[in-house]
Structure 1
Amino acid sequence: MTHVSGPAAGGPKPAPRVLVVDDEPQLVRALAINLRARGYRLEAAQDGATALRLAAERHPDVVILDLGLPDMDGLDVIRGLRGWTRMPILVLSARHTSDEKVDALDAGADDYVTKPFGMDELLARLRAAVRRAAPVEPGGSAVVRTEAFTIDLAARKVRRDGADVRLTPTEWHVLEVLVRNAGRLVPQRQLLGEVWGPAYGTETHYLRVYMAQLRRKLEADPSHPRHLITEAGMGYRFEE
């Protein structure tokens, strides 16, 4: 296990803390240099068990995770984290097939970067993950009610059957974009761009995975959704 710390950014709000989980020392050093230079605080783990322990102890704002770890598969680390936290998980892996990406997203990852990667791209995706997880300023009380669940846009909460529904930051962002465009078709490219960024215009499998996850959590019959509608080949629509 490696411990790396960087200076906190100025001002009252601490810099985001990033947990890097990778057993390649050179890669960890490169990430440490680049992240510390941009004010991030860094923790690093070389295996899955250490990563799960550090995540519980240090509560990072974002996890950057390699899937090929010496003690367990990275998918098991994702599942372990998702058992108790919604912190964004950005997978960094040499596995590059569409099925492998879908498996990681379906397990609970928020994004997927294939090795080798450009540092600028990784930093952009990291910034996007931090933005998705950031709390919004209080104000407004826009509440959307359906017969099955209630969405409080200001509080970023969803309730179903009298209980809070746990959504990851990315699941929330997908739902929020659709709800704010209620009744209107949101094209795939627009939804990808608003949630992940303009470079994601063709990553339609991201949307398939996240829409399936939202339907499992919110729809009475996920296989026949009434509120989260797919317009085949075009995009998605939210109906109250």
Structure 2
Amino acid sequence: MLEIAKTRPLTLADVTIRLAERTLLAVSATVMPGEVLTIMGPSGSGKSALLAFAGGFLDPAFDAGGRLLIGREDVTDMPANRRHAGILFQDPLLFPHLSVGGNILFAIPPSIKGRKARHALAERALHEVGLAGFFDRDPETLSGGQKARVALQRVLVSAPQFLLLDEPFSKLDATLRQQMRELVFSRARAAGLPAILVTHDSADAEAAGGRVIRIGEEEKP
């Protein structure tokens, strides 16, 4: 299994996000290592803006208040590249000019020295998700599920401090969706990573198994 750096709780302390004069959300929560906090709400309710706030790349059109802490460290004003957030989006966003293995190698921290060691880590990451022998493959030859697994492992080898999951299952078919839910949440637990999932799908929340916060005008499913 991939070695993950020691992780700490992730805390959203009185976080508010506004657009113009409208308050989209107000959230306070602590996510322990290995837990998933699910934020549910309809489109336009501010779910993705909350992830952008946590990741450090919130559009300046939004006005955010509150603090983000990793353990006891306040990282609210820290640039995105120093927060070490692992992010999964709706699309895998694999680099088309790199091989499957090259996509993994790109994310391995510089602290892993030597071509042989880095290559071995990438190979191990692929093996763990059933993609042994795929190192030299063109990402365009992969199925949707295979691309999603590569994207997940690319995030994990980067040694993130926490995970941000922006509806990463929404574009998969029903069978693949359930498989990827199980894989993502089991890997997050195994790595001891606190995670925030945003979704409008109650099945995602049920699979995540953690606390659910509902925002916006969403009706009870």
TM-score by length of 1: 0.26
TM-score by length of 2: 0.28
Give the structure, 1 or 2, with the largest relative contact order (CA under 8 Å, sep 6 or more): 2
